[in-house]
Chains A and B, each alone.
Chain A
Amino acid sequence: MHPIVTLVAQRLALGILLLFAASVLIFAGTTMLPGDVAQQILGQGATPESLANLRAELGLNDPPVARYFNWLGGVLQGDLGTALTNGRDIAESIGGRLKNTMFLAFWAAVVSVPLALFLGLLAVRYKDKWPDKLISAVTLTTISIPEFMLGYILMYWLAVKLRWFPSVAILNDSMSLLEKLNAIAIPVIVLTLVVLAHMMRMTRAAILNVMQSAYIETAELKGLGMLKIIRTHAFPNAVAPIVNVVMINMAYLVVGVVVVEVVFAYPGMGQYLVDHVTKRDVPVVQAVGLIFAAVYIGLNLVADIVSIITNPRLRHPK
């Protein structure tokens, strides 16, 4: 078999193993939380009998290992359980919200990734000259400002003063794509500003590292132009580290948007998670945690596989 297939299969297996490990951690962590779920649901005035009944009903008397496999079995069949607070099916409630989070993350990525790569290339082209310094200064400033702060500042200027975009990002199914994009414009800008610096700096560093190579000198001595050298000789060799940092930031766009979603009252996963953490709704926290873990592991898996595939030594063995 081609060694690449073996390597990729190994990575996939490792990813699945990691996901199981994450599920154990999530379950153990939420189980160890102080407090009694039955008590939480029924309130302080509950009788011992009704508490005992509810515990039996929820399976809280079973040993933790049995409860874990019970939960895992359900998850594998697509059953994430029911929310304690409102008794609704978690998978159903998450569905729409996950779609919204993905929608926001997708558009933030569509804007930020090409912009970061372009700015990174530009910074390399004008290394140590004013465009490079300007790009670094601006992106580092925006990453240094807390994202809720950025959110409120942009809201004040773009929504309140200039009235270009709405200040809250509320979506519904009757909106057209353009209306939806208009609604999420400010959160997308905030997220872009937050992830831009990291990706742009890594792109710059990865390409500069490659630019030290002897084969870049060869390309220069072939009389090629600087931009062509960066594009055709340096970039292909810098893909692996760049993809890595892009994937980490994409994962952040999905998982780390909690604050931004809350600021803009956006109906996504983050909002949902925060609501249910405050209500100690353990099954919901577990389900959301598992989905976030899957996104993180999945995207990093993609980065690993891309770096394997872009390595010519692995792709074309001797």
Chain B
Amino acid sequence: MANNPTNDSAVSMTKWQLNGQEVENHAGMTIMEAAKEHGIEIPCFCYHPGLSIAGNCRICMVESNRSHKPVISCSERIAEGLEIETDSEVAVDARNSVMEFQLINHPLDCPVCDKSGECVLQDHSYAHGPDRSRFVEDKNIRHTKELGPDISIWGNRCIVCTRCVRFCDEISGTSELCIVERGDRSVVDVFPEIPIDNQLAGNTVDICPVGALISHDFKYEARVWNMDRIDSVCGGCSRGCNIEVETLDGFVKRLIPRENLDVNDWWMCDEGRYGWRHLYADDRITQATRDGAEQTDSAATDALEELLSESGPVAFLIDPFLTCEELHLVQGLAASRPGSKVGGWLPADGTAASFPSGFQISAAKYPNRSGAEQVFGDQVFGDDAKQLQKSLLSNGFDTVIAFCGGHQSTGPGDSWTQALANTATRIVFSVMNGPWLEGASLVLPATAPIEKEGTWINEDGRLQRTRSCWNPGTDPFAVELVRLQALQHALGLRGRSLSAAGVFRELAAANTAFSGHNHSDLGSPGLLLSERPAAVASDGGTE
């Protein structure tokens, strides 16, 4: 962000004193950011690294030798000879007094508030707040109302930090929110008949430090401390925003963004955020069927082996939702059947959007087109696909294995459905029920994007690792990664089954684009394949 000049290459260092210790930081940093580098967390409400500095909550006050009064560390910058005390009597007193003021009008709603457990006010109240209130007057009542189709405000809980207002001004650029009234009556509101319905609106709920903004989607769904969190990547579009999937007893409850300054900063779009309900929809395929008859999961794998062991060349129709690991397994199968062909289908483009902050939504509503092109070549969705479709239509193959994944209820489209229908033995991996399944010899349930374990390459060429929210305790079928390896084992192509990381190692050994890497290298920011060190790229090139 513009207010953080640490990324400039020509910055000098500044010597200053933090709690009596001589320390050094880049010139121009704020006291709060600089102190954080030395392991001292100064409490804050209104400060957010992705937003401009407002300095209105005052909880971050520290004692300075340059001022008679305490200064706010979120906006005050470090300077030569500055002496800052974060835990002196003056600083602690100022912090505790601010906390007492914040709690004057805040209701004791924690038992029914959905923010409870991840609430910044709760945390700071525990650390710095008084254990009882001296306030004997009546508390202020402010409005509780819907601000938009997905968001409501509980005005009583609002501490007027203006994070959400600044978000709508600076990040989404839509400026729906404003502060109305003055003093202790001030509260967040929208203008009449202009609801907050921009494509990033859900982020305001995440950045709200208290439970004032509540998402209708998550309201009363779960208490946050009961949920499990998995670091994942959104499969909604080719941007590959980093997300956390939060599950309760194995069931997804909500998706929230995860910080990745190279991809999505701190944000995600609402389309991705609310795009998980289809996982539990009625037309989700969770049961394998052979010629219309239901099969147990292991019988389905046996049937898959039986159909393949009798077949000659096989047509493989892949989708851009498969992970690089799954694609590698498909490639292994294709290589074992001479004469096999691989092509891919792409879902129809959606609408792209870009925002003043630089946040982008891609029109390509699938996560791994680039990965498939790395594994199968640039033309896998182009000429290869056209040829495959043509030969399927002219009865060129007896057997086809099609992957119809993703969350698109539209599926592979009419032309592909027609091409598939032309083949005698049709094996279809599918997430949702659809016309492409009609008359299929074997229907196998498939995993949706956030249930996959493996890696995707986003539209910038960044290799990112996604983790699965799949719960083996409740899950009714084997994921593709397991089933494809079982199939390879049964066909004598593979000794033992591996984890996603193991399959990635095989892929890295076989494919120069991935060489020299493994899952643990990828870390949280992912890895830009075009920016790999030259030595690594040429090392792998010899294989």
A, B assembled together: no
